[in-house]
Structure 1
Amino acid sequence: MTFEDHPLVVAARSLAAGLLAPDAARVDVEGVPAGHLDAIRDAGLLGVSAPVEYGGAGAPDAVAREVAEILAGACCSTWFVQTQHHTPVRMLARSAAPVRERLLRRLATGEALAGIAYAHVRAFPRRPVRAAREGDGWRFDGTVPWFTGWGLNDLMLLAGVTDTGELVFAFADAREQPGLRASPPMRLAALTAARTVSLGLDGLWLPDESVLLRTPHKVFAATDRARAANASPAVFGVARAAVELVAESGEPDTARALRERLDAVRESAYALAEHPEPLERVAERLACRTRAYDVLRTATTAAVVARGGRAMDLREPAQRLSREGMFLLIQGQTSDARRAHLDALAGSG
């Protein structure tokens, strides 16, 4: 069995064709419904990479990437909400902290859905969220600029930075509570449907048993930069959806040429992602990520051009894919990724 025939990939294709893609225009306007996430959970996709002994599928990375591509290409907003969940699952699976036994099975089976509230640690040495020891727990103060899936997630993995530069990651309930208030949902150029808010923290206290990880910022940052250098499967999923739209619009030759470019950069990106040393070849990964963006931008532009004036209708997928592509340009962006992309754009001019 190849990974394309894996039961989870088959399930993802069925879900995409039967629910996500047909509903994507409505979701883009009205927001991701809880029912979409229930369907993803029922298909076993929330535990695609989670350990089997905790109720997950333990699938290979190639399967997880293919599932992500399929979901993102069908409905990027739904993909973005559920993709937050996989990071806490992976971190729990690697952890020896007591919180692993309390939460990993719940997350691996999809009984609970988790989001992430720590992208702000990339702003270091600025500290948008500060963590301080208080009694037998930790106090968090500041602002989480972005939290996706508000009203859909059960839990959040929050991080703050101490005065000594240590990162403290801890789980909290994803609801308003003493010390935590959410903004109104943000109106964004793309993926407003993903229910993104900012979070105000004013003395949110979390006990030691909720802590997943404590690590120096420099240690986390080194791993984060290397991981973020990889091209996201969502880029290939949205690009592929755009290419198929070009073909459906009566432009098979253009679609064929774009598909060849897409397949070539995808093959390179995934070969780098499978490299046995994930912290090596970072410059090459960044260059490949930038090439993936080039194909994404070209494919979504071609979809708009092929659809003509119809593309401006909010019910049309071409403009939605174009906006989703714009979002993916900055999703998971580090300073290294930004610099590599801008340098490439300047050189191409």
Structure 2
Amino acid sequence: MNQAFDLFRPAEEHDLLRESVRALAEAKIAPFAAEVDEEGRFPREALDALVASDLHAVHVPEEFGGAGADALATVIVIEEVARVCVSSSLIPAVNKLGSLPVVLSGSKELKAKYLAPLAAGEAMFSYCLSEPDAGSDAGGMKTRAVRDGDSWVLNGVKRWITNAGVSEFYTVMAVTDPEKRTRGGISAFVVEKSDEGVSFGAPEKKLGIKGSPTREVYLDNVRIPADRMIGDEGTGFTTAMKTLDHTRITIAAQALGVAQGALDYAKGYIRERKQFGKPVGDFQGIQFMIADMAMKLEAARQLTYAAAAKSERGDADLTFFGAAAKCYASDVAMEVTTDAVQLLGGYGYTRDYPVERMMRDAKITQIYEGTNQVQRIVMARNLP
């Protein structure tokens, strides 16, 4: 039992990393979080701070100029940034999501070409899987890639693309063999923002994470060199699903962070707020609420860290644990942030206090990278 626990207990370097990221987040990111949400603008201050500290894409291997951080370290970075601003946490999270197909399946030349500028902070990476008619059913995509000599020509529309228009690079899944579809008919490509025929829709008007632009990506006869294919032809869908096994854990990390931020704020509030002549935190009903919030959050954290360890090792049961961590942590985040609003009463319902924003931001963690209903299907099919 103790040996199993040690497999995912944070090491001293992880604790030191948490301290440094928290200090950075509180000093350079938190002061702009409310403004970013209110104005619906990209958190440029967060990007600059993360790049300056080499925290924007810590997963990139050292051989390509990255920090080579393990999966747990990546989780901690995302968690601590999300604690103050979920929109900003999508910078390291989506950089991993977008580039992981290259890490997992790309040629060494492709890795060098695209991971090096990502690691240097010269570009961001986004992930293009979903389409207007292909959300949970990702295999139903219609975007096509047709071979033409030494090039591939891409046509289609990708929807719900995080950081679209800001990122320079895009991993795009496209159908290369309509007959085979998910059984060898989908391939992965790197598309650059500057490629002729690439354009973007208007930013979506969202409930939360308003600082992270979500747009459609339009591919109109986009011609790219054949060597921009990620892996072999027909392996794209497999790469996409392997990617999500790893990156669902980063969504769990976001959920942990926003829940922790809400819990921390609520704890301070109930100690200071007085009613009937004493702090509201002295009332048993309030104590039970805060205890449940903390208990569920810690359970989610342990599950997420265990999943991160499995991601690092490439364990056979990663698919189950990645889905479980994402599902449970995001459900907990929604519950904890909702309860935090309740604990602040009328104040919690106003934009003058951060828990209102945290509650709105938490909701997306139950939806993107596979709804929690889909996660339960994945878990049921992959029981350890």
> How many percent identity over aligned positions?
24
Provide the secondary structure at the position in 1 that maps to 2:18.
helix
**Contact (CA 8 Å) 1:141, 1:201: kept in 2 or not?**
yes
**Contact (CA 8 Å) 2:337, 2:362: kept in 1 or not?**
yes
State the TM-score, normalizing by the size of structure 2.
Answer: 0.79
State which drifts further: 154-163 or 60-69.
Answer: 154-163
| Selected match of 1:50 from 40, 60, 75 | 60
1:325, distance to aligned residue in structure 2 (A):
1.1
Provide the secondary structure at the position in 1 that maps to 2:49.
helix
Aligned to 1:128: 142
- What does residue range 172-211 of structure 1 map to in structure 2 within 5 Å? 172-175=191-194, 178-211=196-229
Q: Give the AA of the match of 1:75.
A: C
Q: Distance in 1 between matches of 2:74 and 2:165?
A: 25
Aligned to 1:304: 341
Q: CA, structure 1 residues 108+91, in 2 after alignment: closer, same or farther (shift >3 Å)?
A: farther
| Selected match of 2:270 from 250, 258, 262 | 250
Q: Give the AA of the match of 1:11.
A: S
Q: Distance in 2 between matches of 1:239 and 1:229?
A: 17
Aligned to 1:236: 256
Provide the secondary structure at the position in 2 that maps to 1:160.
strand
Aligned to 1:329: 366
Q: CA, structure 1 residues 128+80, in 2 after alignment: closer, same or farther (shift >3 Å)?
A: farther
Provide the secondary structure at the position in 1 that maps to 2:83.
helix
**Contact (CA 8 Å) 1:311, 1:318: kept in 2 or not?**
yes
| Selected match of 1:270 from 305, 308, 331 | 305
**Contact (CA 8 Å) 1:227, 1:278: kept in 2 or not?**
no
Gaps of 5+ in 2: 1-10, 272-280, 282-286
Cα deviation, 1:144-194, whole Å, max 9, x if unaligned, reads 11222234222222221222433322222225x532221111111112321
Q: CA, structure 1 residues 239+110, in 2 after alignment: closer, same or farther (shift >3 Å)?
A: same
Q: Distance in 1 between matches of 2:247 and 2:58?
A: 20
Aligned to 1:14: 23
Gaps of 5+ in 1: 344-349
Q: CA, structure 1 residues 124+264, in 2 after alignment: closer, same or farther (shift >3 Å)?
A: closer
Q: Distance in 1 between matches of 2:96 and 2:240?
A: 19
1:245, distance to aligned residue in structure 2 (A):
1.6
1:256, distance to aligned residue in structure 2 (A):
3.9
| Selected match of 2:81 from 46, 63, 71 | 71
**Contact (CA 8 Å) 1:12, 1:43: kept in 2 or not?**
no
1:105 aligns with 2:116: yes
Q: Give the AA of the match of 1:79.
A: S
Aligned to 1:147: 161
Aligned to 1:347: none
Q: Distance in 2 between matches of 1:59 and 1:76?
A: 21
Cα deviation, 1:20-65, whole Å, max 9, x if unaligned, reads 1221110112212323212111111123122223221112222111
1:290, distance to aligned residue in structure 2 (A):
3.5
Q: Distance in 2 between matches of 1:299 and 1:336?
A: 20
Q: CA, structure 1 residues 222+168, in 2 after alignment: closer, same or farther (shift >3 Å)?
A: closer
Q: Give the AA of the match of 1:142.
A: G
Q: CA, structure 1 residues 45+81, in 2 after alignment: closer, same or farther (shift >3 Å)?
A: closer
**Contact (CA 8 Å) 2:248, 2:369: kept in 1 or not?**
no
Q: Distance in 1 between matches of 2:95 and 2:142?
A: 22
Provide the secondary structure at the position in 2 that maps to 1:112.
coil
Aligned to 2:38: 29
Q: CA, structure 1 residues 152+216, in 2 after alignment: closer, same or farther (shift >3 Å)?
A: closer
Aligned to 2:3: none
Q: Give the AA of the match of 1:192.
A: K
Q: CA, structure 1 residues 107+277, in 2 after alignment: closer, same or farther (shift >3 Å)?
A: closer
Tell which structure's C-alpha radius of gyration is larger: 2
Provide the secondary structure at the position in 2 that maps to 1:181.
strand
1:138 aligns with 2:156: no
Cα deviation, 1:220-264, whole Å, max 9, x if unaligned, reads 365356446656211111111111121021165343442122112
Q: Distance in 2 between matches of 1:331 and 1:56?
A: 27
1:271, distance to aligned residue in structure 2 (A):
1.6
1:70, distance to aligned residue in structure 2 (A):
0.4
Aligned to 1:170: 189
Q: Distance in 2 between matches of 1:281 and 1:173?
A: 31
Aligned to 1:61: 71
State the TM-score, normalizing by the size of structure 1.
Answer: 0.86
Q: CA, structure 1 residues 115+289, in 2 after alignment: closer, same or farther (shift >3 Å)?
A: closer
Q: CA, structure 1 residues 168+281, in 2 after alignment: closer, same or farther (shift >3 Å)?
A: closer
RMSD: 2.8
**Contact (CA 8 Å) 1:46, 1:109: kept in 2 or not?**
no
Q: CA, structure 1 residues 225+195, in 2 after alignment: closer, same or farther (shift >3 Å)?
A: closer
